[in-house]
Every structure is written in structure tokens, then in C-alpha cells.
Amino acid sequence: MHLFGASLGLVGQFNDKLKAGYEGRKNLFALLSKALSEEGNIIWFHAASLGEAEQAVPIIEAVRKEYTQHKVLLTFFSPSGMEHFKRKDLADFVFYLPFDTKSNAKKFLDIVKPELAFFVKYEIWPNFFKEIHRRQIPMIIAPAVFVPEFFYFKNPHKKYFIPLLRGVNKILVQDENSQKLLAEHGVNSTVCGDSRFDRVLQNAATPFEDTVLERFAQNDTILIGGSTWQKGEEILADVISKNQNLKMIIAPHNIKEENIQRVVELFKPFGAFRYSQSENLKTESRVCIIDNIGLLSRLYRYGSMAYIGGAFGKGIHNSLEAAAYGLPLFFGPNHHAFVEPGRMLKEGFAREIRNSDDLQKVITPLLENETQLSAQQKHAREFVEQNAGSVEKIMQSFKTLLPN
């Protein structure tokens, strides 16, 4: 690991993310010491990256309400978390986590002296785990997902990693499959569900108004294209050409100028305008192109249904955000890396598509039958609501390990 940390300085010259991670860890212990020198009662959360941090938001909020005399330290491994996590106000201190070496683990814990360590999802840092266990610091991993393909369930690694998991005070997993897998290796766990359900419901309930989108929407039937890529955009363009009573709000995953111009040109026949250039919104405009970051999770409230991008490529993007607003969902075939899309398909308010004909077939009944559309919207909302509650279960473990 010492060599790994040093090599990042060289590799980072050629990779922006590695460079940012390396630069962000310079003088880390001095900065930590300065920030925490007079602090006590630290609860430490660690998230690998942005997605894990978002998952932890409702948990950290609950902790702050319960433990008012404590301070929260949030650490990241990835620059994407450090640079793009917008709720840094939730934590009193935000830092990178030092690379996983014995000396780093000791130095870090000497400075921080956490009363509890919380690792989000399935982060395993061997040297940190060993030192946390040696110091008898309570530790939680949640809301975790484990699959047999993880290397630490395979030889020769499992002889090293399974004892680390057994040493964790509380492991709370998202599903029974994870619990069963851990039990097969002699690791105890509890099913808590997924805190992302709590997070998206919280987001959907947060008041939000946007004059541009309200002027555009006007209570019309709107399909939201979330985190779209080219193939999905071409499918949506074909579908809107066949449905005069349909509007679309398209939020491309890539908002670089060249790509936004391509998307605008694709939807030009339908009066497309860029969100940032709302002066171009006309009465005949049927497509709004979102050309900035940060709106997607909130703009689903203007939709009647949603297409979720990514599943014609490396993998589907966040589907829960749209479901929380009660939207029937459509997406491509590459969604199996995530549990939720499969569950949504079984529930019946989501559909897998492979081309524009598929999409046309599934949206036609929704466009022609308002009762059917309303029923699927209600089903989507209920699905998310029924799977919420993870935070409350996690907090029960918190209170057991760290009585307030």
C-alpha cells in the first residue's frame, strides 16, 4: 500500500481523478490534527464515493438529530465524492481517508478518536478494520449488499477478509440474499433494507419550484428522459414524432457543449429549447433539454412517466429517484447490476425496452387511458414507500452500540 500511494503521484500525472486523490491527501494528517485538535465525541462515516455518500444522507441526518453533542466526520476515498457531494453541511469535517496502511490507520485513529465508525455499503479497509477492532471502537457496515462474485468470498482472499467481517459489531444488509451469503461464511447480519428509498422519498417531499419547467409543463403529459445517452435519445426522438400529445424533458448524462448541441439538433423538429436559454421557449415547444447539473432528481415531479438512461450501455442510472415521484419507468436491457429495476419489472410499473417500437407499445395504453396511467403512478409511489424504513432500523443498531 505504501508503494500504491507513492505510485499514485506518478500515475496521477496522467489521470485527473488519481491526481486529485493524491493531491487531496497531501498534508492530510496535519490538516486533520488542526481541525480536530480540540474536538471530541466524533462519529465517523466513511463513503467510497458520491453514490455511497448520497445513500448515507438520511442516516447522517438522523444521527445529527439523535446525537446533538457529537460531531460528524465524513471521509471519502474517491475525488468524485469530495468534489461533487453537495451536502457537506451535514458533516462538521470532511476529508479524504488516508490510504490503507497500518501506520496510516494508527495515525488516523489517534487523531480522530471516533466513538463509532460507520462504513457505508460494503467498504472493507483491512488495516483500518483491524485497528478499529483492536481499539474496541464500535463499527457498523450498512446498508450493505454482498454477492458471491466479490473477491473476498473467494480463495485465497476469504481467509483474510471473512475474519474482518466477523469482527464488525453490526452489519446491516439490504436484502436476504446478502444475509444468507454472509451466514454461509459465519458472519452475522440483519436485514435493514436500502436507505436510498428513504433518501428519494425525502427528496420528493422537499418543496421545489421552477418557473421555466412550469411554463413548459402546463399540466401536459410529459415523459422525462433521465441521464440519457445517444441510443436512448434516438428512441425518444422517434417516439415523440409519433405522439403529438406528448412532451419531453431530456436530461443528458453528458452535458458537454458538443453533446448538448447534438441532442438539441436531434429534437429540433419538435421545438426543442435549452433550459439555460428559456427565452427560446415557444408555444409549440415540445422538448426541453436540461443543460446543467443538479436538476434531475427534482424535475421528475413535472413528469407523467420516465425513461431511465444507461441501460443500453454500461448500466442503468438511478431509477429510484423517478419512482419516488410515482412515475412508470422504461429502460434498456442492461440493468441487472442493480436489484431495484428487476423488482420494479416484477411489480409491473416498469418495462424493459430494446427499441422505439417497444417503447411505443408500452406508452400507448398510458397515453390513451388516464386511469391506467394513474394506477401505475400510484403503484410506483407505493413501491418506494413500502420499502422505506431502513434508517430507523440502522438507528436502532446505532443506539445499541452508542447509547446517548
pLDDT attached to residue 75: 96
Same domain, 260 and 323: yes
pLDDT of residue 7 exceeding 70, the answer is no
- Is 207 buried (19+), middle (13-18) or exposed (0-12) by CB count in 10 A? exposed
Confidence of residue 15 (pLDDT cuts 50, 70, 90): low
- Given this model, what pLDDT does residue 81 score? 82
Residue 228's CATH number: 3.40.50.2000
The CATH code of the domain that includes 93 is 3.40.50.11720
Same domain, 227 and 163: no
Buried b (16+ CB within 10 A) or exposed e, 372-402: ebeebbebbbebbeebbebbebbbebbeeeb
199-258 confidence digits (pLDDT tens)? 999 999 999 999 999 999 999 999 999 999 999 999 999 999 999 999 999 999 999 999
Whether 46 and 86 map to the same domain: the answer is yes
Contact 331, 307 (CB under 8 A): yes
N- to C-terminal Cα distance for the chain?
37
- Helix 158-166 with 126-134: angle, nearest 10 deg: 40
In this predicted structure, which of 23-27, 289-293, 299-303, 400-404 has the lowest mean pLDDT? 23-27
Q: How many CB atoms lie within 10 A of CB 348?
A: 13
> Are 214 and 163 contained in the same domain?
no
Residue 200 lies in a domain: no
Q: For 330-343, how does the pLDDT look when each residue is reduced to its tens digit (9 = 90+)?
A: 999 999 878 899 99
Does residue 202 fall inside a structural domain?
A: no
198 in any annotated domain: no
Report phi then psi at 156, rounded to 5.
-90, 5
> Does residue 186 contact residue 166 with C-beta atoms inside 8 Å?
yes
> Quick one: 282 and 225 in the same domain?
yes
Number of domains composing the chain? 2
Distance (Å) of CA 78 to CA 48, 62, 102, 154, 272: 6, 24, 20, 25, 36
- 62 with 184, same domain: the answer is yes
Mean pLDDT of the chain: 93
Helices 370-386/339-347 angle, 10° precision: 140
Q: Are residues 310 and 256 in the same domain?
A: yes
Based on the fold, state whether residues 325 and 354 are members of the same structural domain: yes
Which pLDDT value is given to residue 14?
43
Residue 61 within a domain: yes
Does 256 lie in the same domain as 280? yes
Q: Is residue 72 part of a domain?
A: yes
Predicted TM-score (pTM) of the model is: 0.80
pLDDT at 260 over 70: yes
Q: Based on the domain organization, do 146 and 234 belong to the same domain? A: no
Per-residue model confidence (pLDDT) at position 336: 87
Report the C-alpha gap between 360 and 263 in whole angstroms.
Answer: 20
pLDDT for 306 equals 98
- pLDDT single digits (tens) 279-303: 999 999 999 999 998 899 999 999 9
Residue 203 falls inside a structural domain: no
pLDDT at 1 over 60: no
Is there a single domain that holds both residue 121 and residue 151?
Answer: yes
Q: Helices 230-241 and 356-368: crossing angle, nearest 10°?
A: 50
From the list 110, 97, 99, 88, the residue with the least C-alpha distance to 37 is 110
199 within some domain: no
For residue 355, the enclosing domain spans 208-383
Flag whether pLDDT at 394 surpasses 50: yes
How many angstroms separate the CA atoms of 54 and 86, rounded? 9
**Domain-embedded: residue 201:** no
Residue identified by cell 445513500 is 55
246 shares a domain with 169 = no
Using an 8 Å Cβ cutoff, are 72 and 36 in contact?
no
> Which among 201, 205, 175, 208 is positioned nearest to 190, based on CA atoms?
175
